[in-house]
Amino acid sequence: MHLSRPTAVSLAMVLALSTLGGCKEGAKPQARTEATATGEAPAGVTISAARLVLPAVRNNPGAAYFTVTNNSSGTKAISAISINGAAKTEMHQTVGIEMNSVDRVDIAPGTSIAFEPGKFHVMAFDLDSGLRPGGQTTLTVQFADGGKAQSSMTVEAAGAAADAGAMHDMGAMH
């Protein structure tokens, strides 16, 4: 999806997606994910507030939210996300009422990027049935320079995250 579409068409797109019962997968799925962190966490990079919101309807994608802070002296580029128990992930950016698939997210030195409802988010596909509300899993953030940073992430039921998970299931913005 692209930004140039007129609003009326965009709305039609969202409605079309909602009839499909889920968030549409991007045209460029990333490789199957493995949350085995072999790389070193980049110095000065930290992850906080990581959570995975389960879909209200089984087999729909979940949504992952977290904050990455870059206290190093250079820009860090997030290139991929892995979540234990999710076969595949995509980074998305919500713009207006649309969402776009993004390949990388740059974090300038001394700043943070929040993946949160209405902004950047990660969609997690083909979730393992062992992921239960109240549980924990592991988030791995991969950087373009080859480094990886990991964090534990809490698993939440769709309703526990206010409207974020529910809106995801409807294919609306999130």
Please report, as ranges, the residues that interact with Cu ion according to CB under 5 A: 23, 92, 99, 123
- What contacts 120, CB < 8 A, 6 or more positions away? 91, 92, 93, 94, 102, 105, 113, 114
In the complex, least distance from residue 99 CB atom to Cu ion, rounded to whole angstroms: 5
State the nearest-atom distance from the C-beta of 38 to Cu ion, in Å: 28
Give the nearest distance from C-beta 40 to Cu ion in angstroms: 29
Least separation in angstroms between CB 92 and Cu ion: 3
The pair of structure tokens assigned to 77 is: 């580029």
Nearer to Cu ion, 147 or 165 (CB): 165
* CB-CB neighbours of 67 under 10 Å: 15
Instruction: Report the residue number, 155 or 169, with the smaller CB distance to Cu ion.
Output: 169
CB 120 within 8 A of CB 92: yes
Smallest gap from residue 109 Cβ to Cu ion (A): 28
Integer Cα distance of 10 and 153 in angstroms: 33
Q: Which two tokens stand for residue 73?
A: 């002296």
Nearer to Cu ion, 1 or 41 (CB): 1
Residue of closest CB approach to Cu ion = 92
Q: Which is nearer to Cu ion, 42 or 51 (CB)?
A: 51
Decide if 148 contacts 142 (C-beta within 8 A): yes
Give SS3 for 28: coil
C-beta closer to Cu ion: residue 80 or 99: 99
SS3 162: coil
